Amino acid sequence: MNSAKIGILGLGTVGCGTINVLARNREEITRRAGREIKVVKASARDLKKARPVAIGGFDLVSDSYEIVRDPQIEVVVELIGGYEPARSLVLEAIAHGKHVVTANKALIAVHGNEIFSAAQKKGVTVAFEAAVAGGIPIIKTIREGFTGNRIEWVAGIVNGTSNFILTEMRDKGRDFADVLAEAQRLGYAEADPTFDVEGIDAAHKLTILAAIAFGIPLQFKQVYTEGITQITRTDVVYAEELGYRIKQLAIARRVNDKVELRVHPTLIPERRIIANVDGVMNAVLVKGDAVGPTLFYGAGAGAEPTASAIVADLVDVVRTLTTDPTNRVPHLAFQPDSIVNLPILPMEEVQTAYYLRLNAEDRPGVLADVTRILGDLGISIEAILQKEPREGEKVVPIIILTHRILEKNMNAAIQRIEALPSIQRHVVRIRLEHLNRDWK
């Protein structure tokens, strides 16, 4: 049987990793796919740049459109990243009847509905395993392994940069800015780290996970997103004292006939396995009604972990080249005519527990004022930790853990507490989730 000919758009770290994995494991991959997968053309902006890959077995071009229009190429691998020109290139590849494999979470999260619709009309496949959690096969697992389940919730650490920063802050007592600078030096964070530290990257990935978990359209703009830039080592230490760890968590949860979509720093009990996922590693918890909670852990980025997912998608696509398009696995797990546009729950209607840190004057009656406000709004307290004031200071830190309550009630409580003359500065609020089996 003739080899399956592919073209790669973007010969950066992941593109080179993909070519290296295909070459090194060629025999195993061919045995699995049923035919050889051969790179015949790749594009790059700088054709003369030295790369950690053998250039010679394929053509290297500067114009990516040359690849998507090449009649011999059956599968296009998009590794350019970002929204444009990636979107235009993918749509043109589809228009030319080519299958697409991509690692571009931003593209899928924002333009996926349009891309999948075009692919369905053309009878081609768009595969995107590498778009979420790098080498962890979480897309395939939810889309195919959990087809017998009603997914109740998904919660994950899906951004290695933020996880590295929070881990270093906890283990070494360092400040956010200091660790961020190191992450940039190590190549974990970009020169502009906004997508990572503000939760945007995690929100892209959560959008995709929610769509395949619940059979809803991709709705990136509906994700509540909060970054880790305001997390201080003080809060990291206090959380640890109370038996919790702070992680940037992406959460998609079905609540009756609505769906929560949120990314934010979250206290998690330190006994939970996911609370012990450190450094740049990723982990995703999935709760199905039949299987219960399941945890998937691994490298969320890197040349070869990501290449592992890309090659897996290539093998799946090659296997289906001769398959009737109507019998293929649907892009978003559910048949296209069965996608349901469930409402996204406004953040104010989300129920969660909270960690609050107040800076209060050290005098009688202050704590009573705070607890009265919480009580008036139906907020019950799970634990209180009052620290000693520093020498010469008259302000004491008070840490409060609450039981679950509506976000709008907590917003109102914080507004009233901050209005008290005895409370200095703003109230620090971090959400808290136990992620146990009974969490519904």
**Minimal CA–CA distance to 413: which of 429, 397, 392?**
429
With cut-offs at 50, 70 and 90, classify the pLDDT of residue 2: confident
Which letter, b or e, does each residue of 2-31 get, where b requires 16 or more Cβ atoms within 10 Å of its Cβ? Answer: eebbbbbbbbebbbbbbbbbbeeeeeebbe
- Work out the average pLDDT over 137-158: 96
Which residues, in sequence order, are CB contacts of 35 under 8 Å at separation 6+? Answer: 1, 2, 3, 4, 318
141 DSSP assignment: I
pLDDT in tens, 245-268: 999 999 999 999 999 999 999 999
| Dist. CA 285–CA 297, nearest whole Å | 9
Least confident interval from 90-94, 184-188, 398-402: 184-188
Least confident interval from 324-333, 419-428, 429-438: 324-333
| Dist. CA 241–CA 374, nearest whole Å | 23
pLDDT in tens, 207-246: 999 999 999 999 999 999 999 999 999 999 999 999 999 9
**CATH class of segment(s) 4-135+303-338:** alpha beta
Q: Which residue in the list 140, 205, 247, 287 is annotated as catalytic? A: 205
N-to-C CA span, the chain: 51
Burial of 419 (0-12, 13-18, 19+ CB in 10 A): exposed
pLDDT for the residue 78: 97
pLDDT for the residue 326: 66
Tokens at 363, concatenated: 């005098």
User: Please, are residues 406 and 364 in contact by the beta-carbon 8 Å criterion?
Assistant: no
Does the domain formed by 141-299 have CATH 3.30.360.10?
A: yes
The Cα angle at residue 209 between residues 204 and 211, in degrees rounded to 5: 100
Which residues, in sequence order, are CB contacts of 402 under 8 Å at separation 6+? Answer: 353, 354, 356, 374, 379, 380, 381, 382, 410, 432
- Which residue is associated with the tokens 């979480």? 138
- Work out the average pLDDT over 143-162: 96
Domain map of the chain by residue range? Answer: 4-135+303-338, 141-299, 349-432
**Minimal CA–CA distance to 58: which of 5, 10, 98, 4?**
5
Query: What ranges in 187-302 are assigned the alpha helix state H?
Result: 194-197, 200-214, 233-241
The whole-angstrom distance between residue 382's C-alpha and the CA centroid of its chain comes to 30
With cut-offs at 50, 70 and 90, classify the pLDDT of residue 437: confident
Enclosing H/E stretch for 353: strand 351-361
Which pTM value belongs to this model? 0.92
With cut-offs at 50, 70 and 90, classify the pLDDT of residue 117: very high
> What value does the mean pLDDT of the chain take?
92
| Dist. CA 400–CA 412, nearest whole Å | 16
pLDDT in tens, 45-58: 888 887 877 767 88
User: Please, are residues 7 and 68 in contact by the beta-carbon 8 Å criterion?
Assistant: yes
The residue that leads in pLDDT, 425 or 351, is 351
pLDDT for the residue 327: 65
Superfamily grouping for domain 349-432 = ACT domain (3.30.70.260)
User: Please, are residues 119 and 127 in contact by the beta-carbon 8 Å criterion?
Assistant: no
Give the torsion sign (CA, 16, 19, 25, 28). positive
Strands (E) across 83-150 are located at 99-102, 126-127
Can 41 be counted among the known catalytic residues?
no
